[in-house]
């Protein structure tokens, strides 16, 4: 099938799904939440550490008289005869710690004035050392504990964020999966009644409205197409009978013949629209089918037409079992082969070529139809699956049959059966279409 996607009576192919656009760069929300937890904990911990440092510093300063003491009395003769050591003499420290004590700054009995002053200076120095050691240990140990707890808070933030983000992933995965063909699917989020569940419920309500709208449109198309078939058939009969019986004046015959051809085109269009509506609705029941048999029937039906057009029609049909509506799947093969023959042309000045192959691939069934023909713009390939889009070459060709619904019908049928389709423009002109359907369903 080259540039045009002919009308033909038959189903449609599924266009290759476009991958969702993913964000580039930046941290994911779970990582940001974990870092936010750790950052907030560090900030609060730093404030608490400063407050604790100031409080301990004040407590130590307020209780300096309790912490720092000097000897209250000196033992009898031995002490009285002994001169006080230097401030850094360890014997002084022993004396200060061994004797009964009174608060620093009080009157010291049993010591001379120089000794009392020296003892007081020594006690003040030891107090400063004590205060420095306590506050340093407090800051060091608190910083270590703060670092450890920051890591713990980051881990807890990662875990709690993951529980919340998991439901968002459910929404994302369902949004990517749901399409026109499976609007009956729902998010159905569970968990607490929070904003995430409200988001999922809102999407579910939107899907209900969309499903009703799509179903109404399909019913309208099917009903309208069905209702149009009867008046068109009557109109065609009313034109054919006078023409066949020769009761039409010669000057009116060309006009009636043009009207008859237009009626025939309208009937084909109505039949295609009806098939499109049925294809979108999907199979009512899944029956065993083989794409090889469907393709063989389609090839046999178009072999004479291909030979008359100077087109070589070749087949390589291996078993390709699947499940679905055999009638609709047969139309898939008919439309693809019909378009391949209709929109064809000589390859390199020789005869045209159509290759049809089927195979079992990856547990599913594959149908591939490849043909020569006019060059197709690769950017226009996906547009060929749009209804009534026949391609630039087909629009320029006068008198070429088809309404541009053939590939649209194929797409609808294949999608409704859970399959996919890829179309590729051939380098030498023409088109290659590959349809893949799931394997047989277990009964």
For residues 388 and 324, state if they share a domain.
yes
* DSSP count for the chain of H helices, then E strands: 11, 9
DSSP string, 319-375: --EEEE-HHHHHHHHHHHHHHHHHS---STTS-EEEEEEEEEETTEEEEEEEE--S-
* Through-space distance between the first and last CA atoms of the chain, rounded to whole angstroms: 36
Checking 393-401 for CB contacts under 8 A at 24+ apart, the result is 393/2, 393/3, 393/4, 393/343, 394/3, 394/4, 394/5, 394/343, 397/4, 400/4, 400/342, 400/343, 401/6, 401/7, 401/342
Domain stop point among 120, 144, 176: 176
Domain stop point among 233, 248, 281: 281
Radius of gyration of the chain, Cα coordinates, nearest whole angstrom = 45
- In the chain, the number of structural domains is 3
In a domain, 10, yes or no: no
In a domain, 190, yes or no: no
For residues 35 and 95, state if they share a domain.
yes
Compute the 3-state secondary structure of the chain and give helix, strand, coil in percent, each to the nearest 5: 60, 10, 30
In a domain, 9, yes or no: no
In a domain, 18, yes or no: no
Residue 236 belongs to domain spanning: 195-281
pTM summary value: 0.52
Helix (H) or strand (E) holding 435: strand 431-437
In a domain, 24, yes or no: no
In a domain, 335, yes or no: yes
Q: What is the pLDDT along the chain (443 residues), one digit of tens a residue?
A: 544 443 333 333 333 333 444 444 567 777 888 888 788 888 888 888 888 888 888 877 777 666 655 444 433 333 443 444 444 444 444 444 444 444 444 444 555 777 677 777 777 777 777 778 888 888 888 888 888 888 888 888 888 777 777 777 778 777 777 766 667 777 777 777 777 788 888 888 888 888 887 777 777 767 777 777 788 888 888 888 888 888 888 888 888 888 888 888 777 777 777 777 777 677 777 889 999 999 999 999 999 989 888 899 999 999 999 998 888 888 899 989 998 998 887 655 568 899 999 999 888 999 999 999 888 888 888 888 887 766 555 444 444 555 677 888 888 888 888 899 989 998 888 899 999 999 888 65
The answer to whether 356 and 301 are in contact (CB under 8 A) is: no
Distant-in-sequence, close-in-space partners of 364: CB < 8 Å, separation ≥ 6: 322, 419, 436, 437, 438, 439
Distant-in-sequence, close-in-space partners of 43: CB < 8 Å, separation ≥ 6: none
Distant-in-sequence, close-in-space partners of 402: CB < 8 Å, separation ≥ 6: 4, 5, 6, 7, 8, 339, 342, 343, 390, 394
Both tokens of 291, joined, read: 């794409």
CATH number of the structural domain spanning residue 252: 1.10.287.130
Residues facing residue 434 across a β-bridge: 368, 422
């Amino acid at each position: 099938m080259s540039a045009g996607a002919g009308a033909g009576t038959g189903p449609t192919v599924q266009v290759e799904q476009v991958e969702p656009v993913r964000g580039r760069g930046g941290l994911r929300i779970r990582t940001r939440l974990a870092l936010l937890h750790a950052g907030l904990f560090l900030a609060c911990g730093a404030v608490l550490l400063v407050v604790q440092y100031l409080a301990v510093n004040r407590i130590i300063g307020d209780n300096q008289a309790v912490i720092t003491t000097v000897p209250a009395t000196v033992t009898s003769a031995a002490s009285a005869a002994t001169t006080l050591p230097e401030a850094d003499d360890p014997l002084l420290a022993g004396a200060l710690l061994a004797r009964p004590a009174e608060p620093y700054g009080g009157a010291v009995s049993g010591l001379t004035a120089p000794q009392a002053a020296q003892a007081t200076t020594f006690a003040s120095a030891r107090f400063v050392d004590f205060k420095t050691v306590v506050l340093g240990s407090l800051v060091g140990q608190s910083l270590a504990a703060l670092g450890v707890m920051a890591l713990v808070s980051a881990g807890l933030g990662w875990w709690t964020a993951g529980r919340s983000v998991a439901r968002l992933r459910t929404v994302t995965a369902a949004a990517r999966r749901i399409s026109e063909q499976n609007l009956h699917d729902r998010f159905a989020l569970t968990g607490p009644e929070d904003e995430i569940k409200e988001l999922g419920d809102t999407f579910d309500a939107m899907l209900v409205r969309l499903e009703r709208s799509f179903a109404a449109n399909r019913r309208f198309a099917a009903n309208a197409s069905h209702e149009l078939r009867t008046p068109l058939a009557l109109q065609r009969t009313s034109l054919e009978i006078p023409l066949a019986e020769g009761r039409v004046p010669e000057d009116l015959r060309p006009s009636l013949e043009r009207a008859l051809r237009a009626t025939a085109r309208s009937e084909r269009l109505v039949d295609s629209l009806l098939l499109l509506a049925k294809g979108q609705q999907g199979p009512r029941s899944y029956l065993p089918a083989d794409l090889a048999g469907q393709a063989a029937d389609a090839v046999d039906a178009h072999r004479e037409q291909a030979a008359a057009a100077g087109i070589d029609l070749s087949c390589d049909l291996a078993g390709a079992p699947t499940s679905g509506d055999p009638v609709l799947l047969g139309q898939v093969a008919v439309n693809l082969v019909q378009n391949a023959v209709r929109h064809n042309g000589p390859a390199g000045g020789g005869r045209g070529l159509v290759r049809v192959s089927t195979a079992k691939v990856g547990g599913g069934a594959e149908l591939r139809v490849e043909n020569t023909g006019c060059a197709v713009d690769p950017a226009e390939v996906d547009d060929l699956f749009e209804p009534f889009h026949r391609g630039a070459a087909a629009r320029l060709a006068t008198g070429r049959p088809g309404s541009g619904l053939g590939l649209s019908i194929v797409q609808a049928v294949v999608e409704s059966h859970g399959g996919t389709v890829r179309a590729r423009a051939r380098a030498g002109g023409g088109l290659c279409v590959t349809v893949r359907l799931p394997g047989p369903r277990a009964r």
